[in-house]
Chains A and B, each alone.
Chain A
């Protein structure tokens, strides 16, 4: 698969996703309740409907816009992409893919691990509690960033967790949850 067709394929997929999102959005406008409205003036549905239609049109355009146009656009932006110091993900995107599907999508274990750690933190923090979740996050994330010395990782994570937790909770009155540590403090 050469670079050009990849870019084009991605544009088509983006178009499809945008179209689907806009259809879902438009579908949801049916669930907006009707309240009294001065006759002939836009109600709560008008604006979302308008937005949904414009968004759908944009998706449709990406999906079916003529191929030669895409090629021209690519030709114009290709030199720019070549000279810029490419970020790894961006580089993956433009380089010819090697390996399996995983790599072709620009994914590798590091990328997946990063997002898993970040999203996991956001998901579990309210229940697990701030101190434990934050400590785990800091340990994992620091290691993903290449710091492998255990004493540094643990020491730093503990220190940052403690300073941030107590600083925000008692200094700035942010209600941070103790979570699983609750039984210990009460």
Chain B
């Protein structure tokens, strides 16, 4: 495959300037693909499925975009795959979020945002702590009291590896209430879906998730949100108080976006950029965003790339501070 793509690209690089076709005339051919680096049901999976459905409904992408689930190592498997095997693939986008920044910051993959092409952030999401509806923790205050009495008495579950983003919610929370972050018990699962199932089954007590992952169960009243980790309440679930309101100063906003494989020609990259810029303004996307409880915060192209690269540097400092990185 690599050979034919390379030839194809070489051909395009030559034909491009000679035929003097404007860059915007580039159109993807055939099927598109969005890699979700986690199992179905988690945040990355939702990020992929949302854009796939919006782009096809608005007709922005002529073919179809199918979603490939590639779980493992909190995004490390997918970024390694994309950086090495999918070079120059113009039809591929990969969903990403802060969770990938953690994977990068922890050095769990030899690849960073510099080896791939960060594309855009299409929304932001609030993280939070969730418990079964019949849990003994009625409010965040109950949880704080229990944590202060014995940090090991509470078991958290989340969809990322230790040191990843769901674990970070727990660690930052512990730090904010004066509990040693490394003492908090955190059980990693493959994606938010599994973490939620384990919490519903009572095998773990509190799930550290993103709101979109919990939305279905929240609406049904099966689980309760103890707190969202933000300065302002969620626009979709305004009943859940913020952690700050309840005396724990934690903010943790999750961006949701995409990167592309390295070596993608500029025309293709720009096409995706413009397509996403248009897509996030469409009523179809607004409907999806409301459904998922995302907040409308976006970043594109270079601004986004700078943002994620800075973020990786900041997280490295934070992880050292918390004792997760030597």
Residues in A lying within 8 Å of B, measured CB to CB: 35-39, 173, 175, 177-179, 182, 186
**A175 pairs with B162, CB closer than 8 A:** no
A153-B31 Cα distance, complex, nearest whole Å? 38
Given A175-B1, A177-B1, also A35-B108 (CB < 8 A): yes
Q: Is the CB of A36 within 8 A of B162?
A: yes
B325 touches A36 (CB 8 A): yes
Q: Which residues of B contact A182 (CB under 8 A)?
A: 3-4, 7
- CB-contact partner of A36 in B1, B4, B324, under 8 A: B324
Which A residues touch B323, using CB under 8 A?
A: 36
User: Interface majority SS on B: helix, strand, loop or mixed?
Assistant: loop
Q: Which residues of A contact B106 (CB under 8 A)?
A: 35-36
CB contact under 8 A between A178 and B4, given known A35-B108, A38-B186: yes
Complex interface: chain B residues within 8 A of A37 (CB): 162
In the bound complex, do residue A38 and residue B162 qualify as a contact, i.e. CB atoms below 8 Å apart?
Answer: yes
Provided the pairs A35-B163, A36-B324 are in contact, do residues A186 and B7 lie with their beta carbons within 8 angstroms?
Answer: yes
Query: What is the distance, in angstroms, from A40's C-beta to the closest C-beta of chain B?
Result: 11
Which B residue's beta carbon lies closest to that of A186? Answer: B7
8 closest Cβ pairs, A-B complex = A175-B1, A36-B324, A36-B163, A36-B162, A186-B7, A177-B3, A37-B162, A38-B185
Please give, as numbers and ranges, the residues of chain B lying within 8 Å of A179 by CB-CB distance: 3
**Which chain A residues lie closer than 8 Å to B185 at the CB level?**
38
Residues of A within 8 A of B11 (CB): 186
List, in ascending order, chain A residues with CB within 8 A of B31's CB: 173
Q: What are 8 contact pairs spanning A and B, CB under 8 A?
A: A36-B106, A36-B162, A36-B182, A38-B162, A173-B31, A177-B1, A177-B3, A177-B4
**What residues of chain B lie closer than 8 Å to A177, measured between beta carbons?**
1, 3-4
| Residue from the list A35, A173, A178, A186 in contact with B162, Cβ < 8 A | A35
Residue pair A175, B324 in contact (C-beta under 8 Å)? no
Known: A39-B182, A179-B3. 4 other contacts (CB 8 A): A36-B162, A177-B4, A182-B7, A186-B7
Least CB distance, B92 to chain A, in whole angstroms: 13
Q: How far is the CA of A160 from the CA of B53 in the complex (A)?
A: 39
Q: How far is the CA of A38 from the CA of B162 in the complex (A)?
A: 8
Render B161-191 as a binary contact track against A, CB cut-off 8 A, 1 for contact. Answer: 0110000000000000000001001100000
- Which of B4, B7, B323 is the most central at the interface, judged by chain A CB atoms within 10 Å of its CB? B4
Q: Which residues of A contact B182 (CB under 8 A)?
A: 36, 38-39
For A175, what are the chain B residues with a Cβ–Cβ distance below 8 Å?
1, 4
The chain B residue sitting closest to A127, CB to CB, is: B3
- How far does the alpha carbon of A36 sit from the alpha carbon of B162 in the complex, in Å? 7
The minimal Cβ–Cβ distance linking A153 to chain B, given in whole angstroms, is 30
Give the chain A neighbours of B325 by CB distance below 8 A.
36
- A178 vs B4: C-alpha distance in the bound complex, in angstroms? 8
Question: What's the nearest-Cβ distance from chain B to residue A46, in Å?
Answer: 14
1/0 contact string of B1-22 vs chain A (CB within 8 Å): 1011001000100000000000
Chain B 284-326 residues near chain A, CB threshold 8 A: 323-325
**A127 to chain B: closest CB distance in Å?**
9
